Structure 1
């Protein structure tokens, strides 16, 4: 459980003010990650990935009617975590809640803040995320009451091919499915389920997190490895009840 001094709330897309969006952009820019060696000037390898309010609005609020923002503040009222999501119907009677951004201030991590944020979103038949960090995938699994050790790869494969083309989120529609789940021959890549988004964030920290998970669980990370410009693609059915 998160500390009792934290406050959580959910906003729909039309209720998100410019100031709130600016606070989210600032938190992202201070806590997300760093650029890889593949970037070109004026970007610098190792420098913090920055987010502007305009870019955040474009990427996470392109369709306000179907978008949501979960917020967390501490006892002093400081913004310490947030998650954006978009919900849509990907086939008749079937909805997905897709997490488009998840950020928690470094000093508040490993306190169930991220999981609590995702649990605020409207209930859907399944949840999805594209992220280079295993921690984000693990958080999604917890919020959906799923087991990362037992990923339903067949469900992931069949659902991804329907979900992405119907997505109102631009970078998901334009992303390219990669990995042994989606490419032939299946053994030609160390990736299992990935989306090529051409986002050159450094993978050193995510790789260390993946290796630690593999060591602790005595199991290969079920989504495989990541190539440059790729993110893990994880879609999971939400446990009903």
Structure 2
């Protein structure tokens, strides 16, 4: 029933947008307000560090732990399955893929890959000290660093796969973050759970995430794909998690798998 209702609402993008603004949500995000012009720039600057709020790691982890428990029991979790399947397709060798997740939060995707049996050597970074402290506590076997996605300290081509883990949408300087993801990737880059718009320009929203005020950017899809290309990344697969399009206008959440062009 839940999937049927979701599919029904997705057929009507305007209704979906109204419901998202007006109805309280028990999920991750709620209370979206679209911002324009100077206000978008001001709020993006004011809330750039919102995900460093000390309350967020515990609140997010409550949801993540439930999802991981279901995943261990064999349940399908779409955001996990998409990334797992993408990495499996990329690794045609017996040696583990060297994987960096940028914007790793508490490092739970490392556990996802472990549960799924993906042959990967996982490492994570995030700009939040609190998230990285929790990641190190939960997963002492992996390496985690506090890093800014727009100016990473890793050498060029350090990882087989660099994953931008659903963080671009919160970064006003997202083009710099794309450039850095491309720089540290040796073979592939994955932009996971990217909100894109069709037939519409970029939009910036203020919202609540786990009860904390943040901003969220939705990207015009052709412009976003052009951005990837400018930084030496060729999309080889697009995986859609959610889509709502009518007459060429709408929105989607997609994961883009890119091959890095050789110099």
Give yes or no for TM over 0.5.
Answer: no
Q: Which has the higher strand share?
A: 2
TM normalised by structure 2 equals 0.28
Q: Which has the higher helix share?
A: 2
